[in-house]
Structure formats: structure tokens, C-alpha cells
Structure 1
Amino acid sequence: MAVEIVMPKLGMGMSEGTVVEWLKNAGDPVKKGESVVVISSDKIEKDVEAPDDGILLKVNADPDDTVPVGEAIGYIGAENESIDDQLAKPEGARSETSAETTPNTVLEDQSEPNKNENTSGRPVLKLRVSPAARKLAKGSNIDVHEVIGTGPHGRITKADVLNVIEAKAKERNTPASIQQSMKDKEPTTQSEKRIAGDDRVKVTPISGMRKVISDRMLKSLQQSAQLTIQMTADVTELISFQKKAREMYQDEEDVRLTITDFVAKATILALKKHPKLNSTFDGTNISTYESVHLGIAVALNEGLVVPVIRDADTLSLSEVSKRIRKMSIDAREGKLAGPDMIGSTFTISSLGTSGVTFFTPVLNPPEIGILGIGSIYDQAVFVGETIEKRRFLPLSLTFDHRIIDGSPASNFLSSLKTYLETPFKIVL
């Protein structure tokens, strides 16, 4: 009997997921544990592995389809094995046409049969439309033949239909005289519309993890009053302290004791001292936590993820170091699960390795604070009557000004600075 590939549940709040890309085609052999499809939730993009060896008999959901958690999105079985009628495509991912679709099957538009009539005897190029795009177009009275597809092989995606809807809305709100003036001036070819006089351009629809990040960042900026304050900490002594500490842990491969580890531990201590920063805001209620659940931003090729160290205030410096290292490795290998990236109360983001000093980190909702770590730089300063070379770490704190005022935010940053400048307090 065929084995189902089901839409996984990546977090407690996840009720449905979106198919991003099939890595295998119907008819391809697959091995148990091999990645066959990429799906995404509102927080993460993840590969789904084959539950058994066999042949990918059927793909039950196309890219851009939204499927309820637990529903089958594909089937694996023996070669030439038939699939019972009751194993039909789930309603939420079913195309409105009667055609069965797989990544190798072109979905032919049948809303206007005359469009595909051919009197020349030559093959007719079929219109490729994702089910989500077709459904949206039908509900918005949009003719899919008017839509320019930007997906693979010219496939029309939901984003393409949304662009047409937006354009028509603007047209309705623009006087006829202005519309005509705009038409007279607009480029006549697709390449001119992209970049005037240059067709050497790659158009990539935003999707998957990048789409999730885009939506969350825009929502964060639109729904909070974000303010960033900055400060530097003299970490000359901390760097010396770090070198000595690393010598003590040189036999433990999973303990690196990086500057980020020290900053993380110092941040935890500062949050315990200033608990208002260890809060979340849902638009109505402020939740202040006794435990510190620290998010550590990790950069990936596809975007950014924020795994969470739960109850970080109960951990020693070496334990914090181990957690950060393990989370970073898991994130880059795609091993993080949904629960690993929810529930943070404060986040740290670092651009130090990129040579950036100060920057403006964007809040990770519903948190009300995020710390940005810059690149350490050298500076000559007076120490008494002599000039010494000291090393400074840039700190950028973004906070929600609806909940926290400048004074308590600066007090938190001052406490963090004190811990970093007197490193023995971090480990006591």
C-alpha cells in the first residue's frame, strides 16, 4: 500500500503549510530519509524527507498550494502500484480543473477552450497556472490570459495575479486623462518595463523563507514604534579574559567561548536586572517573563532564522556557549524544528564578522527588544596621562518605544556595558 507524504506540523500554532518546491518528480525513485519536497510555515522553510523507499507515485499538491497539517501531499509506493480513489488530493490543495497535476504535468487552462484551438497543426503552448493563482484569479474576475507568469517556465503564480489586481485597483482610482498619459510614456516591451533598454535581467518571484522574512519585517516596522540607541563597551579586558578562559576549555570541542557567548551571558544578566526588556507585547497586553528565553539570529543562504535558548538564565557561560554552537550548526544543516524557533523573549543579532560597526536591528515580534552586536575596533584613548590602544565593541539596542522609554532602555544598555567591561562579573 502506498505511503503518504504528509504536511508536517512545525510548531504548536501551525495549522497549514505551503508547498515551496518539489525536489523529486512523479515517477522518480526515492530513498527513506531523502529530501523530496520543501514546505514552509509562517516561520520556517524545511525539507520533508521520504518516509519509505520506493517510487514517488503521485504529487498531490503543487508549489504555492496551501495544505492543512496532516494532509497527504504525495504518495510513495512500489513501481506501477495504483493509488485508490480515496487517496485523492486534499480539498485545500486541489486544482479547480479536473486535471491531475504533477511537476512534469502542464496544467492547461480550460476556462476558454478557444484559446487553445490550433488550426496550423503545430503544438500549442499550454498555459501554466498554479491552483492558488487560478483560484485567486477566478475570485477576483481576472482573466489568467492577461497575467504574465514569472514562475518556472512562465508559470503563473499567486504573486503574479496579485500584481494584476493591484494594477487594476490603481487604474480604477486614476483619472482617465492621467491613465492615457501614463500609457503614452510606458515602455512597450517586457524588458523595457524591467530596466529601460536592457533585457539582461533575472526576475525571481519572492517565495519561501524570503517571503516569510519579508512579511514579518514589514509587519514589525508597521506595527511598532521602533527606536535604536547605541553605546560602546571597552572590551580590552574581556578579550584577555576570553583567551585565558578558552585555554581552560580547549579539550571541549563544543565550547568555543566566543565574544558572542560572553555578550549573550552578559545580556541574560542585564535582562534579569532590567526585566521590562524581557517582555513581549501582543498589541493589548504586556507579558513580562521571569525566565529569559534568548533568541540568537543565525544567517543562512536563504535568509535568517532565530533559534531560541530556553531558560537561558539557568545556564552557565559554558552551557550557553554549547547551546549557541549547537543551534548554529543545526540551523545551517536544516535540522531545526518549529518549536526551536518560537517563544523567545529577547533576541541578539550580530554583524561583527561582516565588519559592520553600528546598525539598526529590526524587532522580532512580539518581543520589545533586540540587541545588535557590531565589529570590534581599536581606538587610542587616554588612560590617565598616557595614551593606550583599547578595543571597543559597538552595541545597538532597538526597542519598542510604546512599551519602553529611552531612560530604562539606556539603563539596560549601561548594565550590559558594565558586565562586558568587568568580565569577572559575568562568570560569578
Structure 2
Amino acid sequence: MPRPIHVPRINNNDDEVKLIAFLVSPGEAVKSGQAVAEVESEKATVVVEAEEDGFVIETSGTQGQMLDVGAVLLWLGETPDETVPQNDPAPQSVDGQAGTDRPTAGALALIGKHGLSAVDIPAAGARLKVSDVEAFLSGNAPPAEPERPPAPQFGAPDAGGKSTEFSAYEAAMLHSVSWHAHEAAATYLEAAYDEADWQAFAQGFRDRHGLLSSPLVPLMAYQLVRHASDNPDLNSTVHNGRKFVYDRVNLGFTVHIGGKLFLPVIHEADGMNAREFVDAFAGLHRSAMRGKLQPADMKGATIAISSMARWPVLRHMPILPPFVSLMVAHSAPQDGRSILGATYDHRVLDGAAAFQALNHLTSPDDKEITSK
């Protein structure tokens, strides 16, 4: 029987929220706890999660639309071909929502300040309060903020304003962008290809292994790992004026959560088989969606991939993370064709080597992916 997922209340004073994006599509299988949509009020952005396994059979609303709190956001069914009930259910009562869906204004502010998720914090009463958040923080101390690198100086701004400190997230972003701009000889190239072969290959892998969603991007990332393992120049960088070749292949991939971009890293990916890698990819992605990534989960990338297909973006040029010489950009298809791009550090790789790596990913290599 189809089950609805309702629009959550984010702020006590708001009876509507804006739909930022659906993270799943009709027909797609989802697992309990998987993020299915992002919504926001004037004060916060919230990731909506599925409460049980199922298939998305219908979504309600379009990007940027204001939705009533308690209205049906999407429907889940036991099979992808179930029919949505003709008579829509009455909006979910605000008073019937769980306490973690209705934090007080003070608790909501504290949750946002520390980058937490209300669903992870136990409430002592009917509603989540500041004291609940403080108790949670005392038992789950957040990691220390990374050291903030100094901003590069290019003179002074020409217009009036004031100087403020970067947040920890902003400082990390500054560090990455500054390395890309001032250390790497960052260069970009791209290739057009037909994604149909990848879609069919990923669907076959999904069916053979009983997965709930298509592993297209993880499998493409795994093929990149195998190729980098066989071509050490791809898995190298420059350090102290010398070429530095990594011992293992650590694959970083981008995840965009609550307006912030993160790069979880699958360590020693070259020692995994395809199924182990896909599971590791999915596990880190779930941790990111739930705000559970640890500092160690985002360190040590030696090669990387970025996908913006879900927005959908037709092409993009990724920023190289520090000491990464190749980052592949996967984008959405258009009229059956897709663009696969790559940003690379020209100090380590020439255009021929970068294009060879990129061209290698334009179609799945069954032997390479299933050889381990």
C-alpha cells in the first residue's frame, strides 16, 4: 500500500517551506534513512529522509515551489508501479508530528550553528528544546575546527565594508580553491559520449547484486580507480618540488548537503572489488546526508570525481582538491549525449594522459570492473 512522506515543519512561525530539490526520482528504489528531498525556511535547510524502504511512485511540487507544512511531499510504494490513491490524504496534523520535527526556535538555532540534524537528537519531551541539543553536544563533542590558512593578498578592496573571520567550512573551501588557483597548473578538457552503455551496465550490476538504486556514478568512479592503479602518473602530485607518487588509490567524491560541499574519501579503493567499493561509496554518502562525516572521512584523496547530474547540470569544471592531480566531472545527459570533463594538474599530467584517462571512462569496461 502506498505511504506518503509529508512536508516537515522547520520553523514554528512558518506554515510553508520552499522545495529546494528532490534527491530521488519516480521509479527509484530508496532505503530507510535515505535522503529524498531538501526543503528550506527563512532560517534553515532540512534534508527529508525516507522512514522505510520502498520505491518512489510520485513526487509533489517543483523546485522553488512553496509547499504547505504537512502536505504530501512524495509517495512510496512496495513496487515501482503502484498507483497513488485518487483521494489525497488530509494534510498531516502539525500537532501529530514527532518532537524532533518541531524544535523550538532556540533549539533550531543551535542545531544550525553546529551543523546537526534534528532527527539524530533525542527529545526529553514532546518538543526538541535547547537543553536537549546541549545534552547531545556534551556527549558528542564536535571535532576541532581545522587550522584556517591565511587568505592570499591581492591589494585592498575598492569599496567600503568590514573584515570578518571565515567559518571553518569557508576556510576549508578557501584552502582548496587557493591550492587549485596558486599551486596547481589547473587545466580542463572534456569529451562527449553516449551514456546509454553506462546506464545499461549499471542497471545490470544493480539487478545482479539486488541494489535499490543505480550505481552508475560509483561504478564509473571504480573504473577510474582501476585505471589510476594501472597508471601511477594519474595517482600522483607535486610536493617540495618533486613528483610524489601515492602508494594507494584513495577516491574522493563530492556530496552537496545543506548548501555545503563535502568530499568524502574511500581509502585504499584499489584494494576493493566493485561491490565493496559501491557499498563503501553508498555508506559514506549516507553518512554525509545525515551529517555524520568525521574529519578522517574527508582526508587523503589522491584522485576524485564530481557529479552534478541530479540538478541537472550539463557540464562543469571541478576545483582540484589539494594534492590531487585529476578530478573527473560527470554531468547530466541531454538528447542521449553526455559530457564527461576533467580538471587536471598540468605539472604532473599532459593533455594526452588526461584525455586518455577521460576517454577510458566514456564506456564501461566489464573486465576491468569485475576482475577483482
* TM-score bracket for the superposition, by shorter chain length: 0.5 to 0.7
| Structure 2 residue corresponding to 1:278, chosen from 235, 239, 245 | 235
Say if 2:356 is the partner of 1:399.
Answer: no
1:123-164 Cα deviation digits (max 9, x unpaired): xxxxxxxxxxxxxxxxxxxxxxxxxxxxxxxxxxxx9xx9xx
Measure, in 1, the Cα distance between the counterparts of 2:114 and 2:312: 37
Aligned twin of 2:206: 246
1:170/1:393 CA distance change after superposition, 3 Å: closer
Q: For 2:277 and 2:114, locate their aligned partners in 1 and report how far apart those are by CA, in whole Å.
A: 37
| Match in the other structure for 2:216 | 259
Question: What secondary structure does 1:403 align onto?
Answer: coil
- Structure 1 position 239, deviation (Å): 1.5
How far does residue 209 in structure 1 lie from its aligned partner after superposition?
1.0
Match of 2:273 in 1: 316
- Percent identity between matched residues is 21
The one-letter amino acid paired with 1:372 is: A
Q: 1:22 to 1:349 in 2, by over 3 A?
A: closer
Q: Letter of the aligned partner of 2:319 in structure 1?
A: V
Secondary structure of the residue aligned to 1:372 is strand
What CA distance in whole angstroms lies between the structure 2 residues aligned with 1:258 and 1:170? 48
Q: CA deviation at 1:257?
A: 4.1
2:186 aligns to what? 226
Quote the residue 1:174 is aligned against. Answer: none
Match for residue 374 of structure 1 among 316, 331, 337: 331
Deviations 1:164-222 (A, max 9, x none): xx9xx869xxxxxxxxxx9xxx8xxxxxx67xxxxxxxx99742312321343133212
From the superposition, tell whether residues 375 and 424 of structure 1 become closer, same or farther in structure 2 (CA, over 3 Å): farther
Partner SS for 2:296? helix
Per-residue deviation at 1:366? 1.1
Is the alpha carbon distance of 1:237 and 1:21 closer, same or farther for their aligned partners in structure 2, counting shifts above 3 Å?
closer
- Counterpart check, 1:426 vs 2:339: no
Which stretches in structure 1 are left out of the alignment for 5+ residues?
A: 1-19, 44-65, 67-158, 172-181, 187-192, 195-202, 379-390
Q: Residue 180 of structure 2 aligns to a residue in which SS?
A: helix
More displaced, 312-321 or 211-220? Answer: 211-220
Cα distance change on mapping 1:246 and 1:42 into 2, 3 Å: same
Q: Give the number of equivalent residue pairs.
A: 241
Please give the secondary structure, in 2, of the residue aligned with 1:399. Answer: strand
2:131 and 2:205 map into 1 onto residues whose CA distance is 51
Q: CA deviation at 1:283?
A: 4.2
Give the aligned residue type for 1:362: I
Residue 236 of structure 1 aligns to which amino acid in structure 2?
A
Change (3 A) 1:327 1:219: same
Listed as ranges, the matches of 1:13-412 within 5 Å are 29=131, 34-35=136-137, 40-42=144-146, 206-250=166-210, 252=211, 256-378=213-335, 391-412=336-357
Cα distance in 2 for partners of 1:326, 1:22 equals: 22
Aligned to 2:7: none
SS in 2 for 1:377: coil
* SS across alignment from 2:172: helix
- Structure 2 gaps, min length 5: 1-111, 116-129
Q: Which residue of structure 2 aligns with residue 139 of structure 1?
A: none
- The letter of the residue matching 1:410 is F
| TM-score, normalisation: structure 1 | 0.50
For 1:295 and 1:392, the matched residues in 2 are separated by 25
Cα distance in 1 for residues equivalent to 2:191 and 2:273: 26
Q: Which whole-Å CA distance do the structure 1 matches of 2:359 and 2:192 have between them?
A: 9
Shift of 1:235: 2.6
Q: Deviations over 1:296-319 (max 9, x none)?
A: 111121411111111111222221
Q: Sort the Cα spacing of 1:422 and 1:293 in 2 relative to 1 into closer, same or farther, 3 A.
A: closer
What is the CA-CA distance between 1:423 and the residue it aligns to? 4.2
CA drift of 1:245 comes to: 2.5
1:238 is displaced (CA, Å) by 2.4
Cα distance, 1:258 vs structure 2: 1.8
